[in-house]
Chains A and B, each alone.
Chain A
Amino acid sequence: MAHFTPEDEGARIGEAAVFWSWIAVLAVGLAYMIILPLTGR
């Protein structure tokens, strides 16, 4: 098993936060842009 220092662990959390934030932006943006026109607005 690989061993990580607390500093490494913090860096990994930062990477994950960045990744999932961008996924969230894309998911919310796409849902917004698809659902609203379907309501005829």
Chain B
Amino acid sequence: MRPLRDNALSILFGALFLVTLVGQSIAGFLEHNEELQEHGQAFVSFGSFVTSSEFIVDIAENWQSEFLQFFLFIAATIWLVQRGSPESKKPGDEGAGSDEEQMVGEHSREDSPSWARARGFRQVVFSNSLLLVMGTVFVLSWLAQSLAGTVVMNSENAQHGQPPITWLEYLGTPDFWSRTLQNWQSEFLAVGAMIALSIYLRQRGSSESKPVGLPHHTTSVESD
């Protein structure tokens, strides 16, 4: 089955995403009803739980941090390098590259995407399209986290007889920043570790690694 083999990486991660999302929804549903039981409140249905802000805020806080991680990684690798890491360009190659290197405009190939052959606005947009989309998903999922977090906090405030807060007030709460920063720190740790550890460590056969026998000081195969 060539279509499956050609797209196996995307299919695997898509399937893992769906399975773990279902798992999260079931575990979260059970935990939520346990808490309701402890407070002597009525159970909620599974449908009510997966359409509630309690469920959404937990998903959104993870989405935003993952997309921030890739957004920053893509942006930082334009201008910064790590000598010896296969995740980096080689020292001296910093920057957006010339039109000739990037095969855009008059340097495009016959089979280049049409927006790479175009000039002006379309070429600028296409040249930065990966960063633009990852950044947009980050901003929107962070917005979703803040909106769902506001609803959850106001629900808790109501239970404790406290007045509701606005979305802007929620942005200044420790709850919003605790949810945000606990995810950011782990993403930055993992990206930094991947960049640094891949200088001396290898995984035979992985595109995320240098070939096993390549010297440690070599940054990537293409730039050696």
Which A residues lie at the B interface, using CB under 8 A?
A: 1-2, 7, 10-11, 14-15, 17-18, 21-22, 25-26, 29-30, 32-34, 36-38, 40-41
Please report the C-alpha to C-alpha distance between residue A1 and residue B137 in the assembled complex, in whole angstroms: 36
Interface residues on B, range: 20 to 34
| B contacts, CB < 8 Å to A | 2-3, 6-7, 10-11, 14, 17, 51-53, 56-57, 59-60, 63, 110-111, 137, 140-141, 143-144, 147-148, 150-151
Please measure, in the bound complex, the distance between the C-alpha atom of A36 and the C-alpha atom of B51, giving whole angstroms: 7
Q: Give the docked Cα–Cα distance between A1 and B179 (Å).
A: 52
Who on chain B is nearest to A17 by CB? B7
Q: Please, which residue of chain A has its CB at the minimum distance from the CB of B48?
A: A41
Contacts between chains A and B (CB distance < 8 A), count: 62
6 residue pairs, one from A and one from B, having the closest CB atoms:
A33-B144, A37-B147, A37-B148, A2-B111, A18-B10, A14-B3
Dominant secondary structure at the B interface? helix
Q: 9 new A-B pairs (CB below 8 Å) besides A30-B137, A34-B143?
A: A1-B110, A29-B63, A30-B144, A34-B140, A34-B147, A37-B53, A37-B151, A38-B147, A41-B52
How many angstroms between the C-alpha atoms of A40 and B151 in the bound complex? 6
The answer to whether B56 touches A36, judged by C-beta atoms less than 8 angstroms apart, is: yes
Do the beta carbons of A41 and B63 come within 8 Å of each other?
no
